[in-house]
């Protein structure tokens, strides 16, 4: 990737790379889009997902759409949302993807993992655990 258009704040990037939740979000979302419900199934909390979005690590793949007729007034749309819950479930089923920052973080994580494996600094159980996790993520 090595996109030079990403403005880098090295302190912010360092903070994100030292945050285990952000590392896990980047690793789980990887290159495939997942829904927010799928992220919750992976054990993330709403707060984790919100924080990842606020930090610019992930974003909605497509904006959530409201399935209310266009002829409704604003208060009618609000009432429709409250009665049916369509908007809430529409947001939960919306797919998220890595942003450019998230992809950059993924590139750094993968490079660090590959160099650690090459140097032999990862012990056998840790290599196997990472391998199993990678297989699980890639099948999603």
User: Can you give the CATH number for the domain in which 103 is found?
Assistant: 1.10.10
Q: Is the pLDDT of residue 99 over 80?
A: yes
Q: Is residue 51 part of a domain?
A: yes
Q: Is 53 in contact with 97 (CB distance < 8 Å)?
A: no
How many C-beta atoms lie closer than 10 Å to residue 121's C-beta?
9
> How many domains would you assign to the chain?
1
Residues linked to residue 96 through DSSP beta bridges, in sequence order: 34, 60
Q: Which residues, 6+ apart, have CB-to-CB distance to 80 below 8 Å?
A: 68, 72, 86
What is the pTM (predicted TM-score) of this model? 0.65
Q: Is the pLDDT of residue 45 over 80?
A: yes
What pLDDT sits at residue 93?
86
What pLDDT sits at residue 120?
73
Q: Is residue 35 part of a domain?
A: yes
Q: Is residue 17 part of a domain?
A: yes
pLDDT, tens digit (0-9, with 9 covering 90-100), for 4-42: 455 567 888 888 889 999 999 999 998 778 999 999 999
Q: Is 117 in contact with 41 (CB distance < 8 Å)?
A: no
Domain residues for the domain of 42 are: 10-63+94-111
Instruction: Name the pLDDT band for 107 (thresholds 50, 70, 90).
Output: very high
Q: Is residue 27 part of a domain?
A: yes
What pLDDT sits at residue 2?
46
């Amino acid at each position: 990737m090595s996109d030079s258009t990403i403005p880098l704040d090295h302190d912010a990037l360092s903070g994100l790379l030292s945050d285990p939740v952000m590392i896990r979000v980047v690793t789980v979302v990887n290159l495939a889009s997942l829904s927010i419900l799928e992220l919750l199934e992976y054990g993330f909390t709403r707060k984790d997902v919100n924080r990842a979005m606020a930090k610019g690590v992930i974003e909605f793949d497509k904006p959530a759409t409201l399935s209310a007729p266009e002829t409704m007034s604003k208060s009618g749309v609000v009432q429709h949302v409250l009665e049916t819950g369509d908007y809430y479930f529409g947001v939960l089923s919306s797919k998220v993807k890595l942003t450019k920052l998230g992809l950059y973080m993924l590139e750094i994580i993968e490079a660090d993992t590959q160099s650690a494996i090459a140097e032999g600094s990862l012990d056998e159980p840790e290599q196997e655990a990472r391998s199993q996790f990678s297989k699980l993520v890639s099948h999603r």
